[in-house]
Amino acid sequence: MRIRVNDIDWHYEEWSDSTGQPLLLLHGFTGSAQSWSSFAKLLSPQYRMIALDLPGHGKTPLPDRRLSLWELADALGEFITSLSSTPINVLGYSMGGRIALHLALKHQSILSRLILIGASPGIADEAERCKRKELDSSLAKAIREQGINWFVDFWERQPIFQSQKSLPADQRERLREQRLRNSSEGLAYALENWSSGKQENLLPRLSELTLPVLLLAGEQDSKYSAINQQMHSRLTGNSTNIVIQNAGHAAQLEQPELTAEYIRSFLS
């Protein structure tokens, strides 16, 4: 499905066997709405599952202008209000989780509950943040010069994704095919505008959130398990922090049934 909102031609997909409350799914870097396909079907009997392609990913083209994370949050806010007249639930994974956090801080009134999987509130140390920004800019340049096939090979070798080697071979192949369907320019654009290096440190602002928040991270993802503990301590009693056993950075892929059960319990 496609809808034009805020000068963006959003492509999105839905899975639903009920008239349940909406749950918007925001994928990670190199992902798309299709990344959620199998997982969304686990929750579709109870919820209206809506997954969109973020700009430059999948079938949503890049906008004509550069969007900061806060501007992207505004665009997503308009997308949400075009689909629902009541607050909805939002689930964001990795980059999608960071975007969801900006959305919640900017447009809290249109959200009911927030779920984050392997997401970060930003890098606190300014020098480290600048270094990450430089690295991401260099990587964006390399993607444009060497192409999507080179980049997907590079990306899949990153230590954070090594736990995904335990996935069945056909699932790993589908995941790779989804990554390859993205464009070099779309991924470079995301790195230059929505990377951790471009994100301000939102940790001090988490106390502004009054909606319920579910924080999820895989047991084998020690970095984001620790980050979730930091966020949990700032969310003034309205958050639930869960470590998912036998999972890495993408718990929804590596332990989908268990992850869905935690989400189902949180939303109900």
Tell me the three-class secondary structure of the chain, residue by residue.
CEEEECCEEEEEEEECCCCCCEEEEECCCCCCHHHHHHHHHHHCCCCEEEEECCCCCCCCCCCCCCCCHHHHHHHHHHHHHHHCCCCEEEEEECHHHHHHHHHHHHCHHHEEEEEEECCCCCCCCHHHHHHHHHHHHHHHHHHHHHHHHHHHHHHHCCHHHHHHHHCCHHHHHHHHHHHHCCCHHHHHHHHHHHCCCCCCCCHHHHHHCCCCEEEEEECCCHHHHHHHHHHHHHCCCCEEEEEECCCCCCHHHHCHHHHHHHHHHHHC
Q: State residue 18's pLDDT score.
A: 67
pTM for this model (two decimals): 0.97
pLDDT along the chain (268 residues), means of 10: 90 86 96 96 95 96 93 97 94 98 98 98 95 96 97 96 94 95 96 94 96 98 97 92 97 98 96
Q: State residue 120's pLDDT score.
A: 96
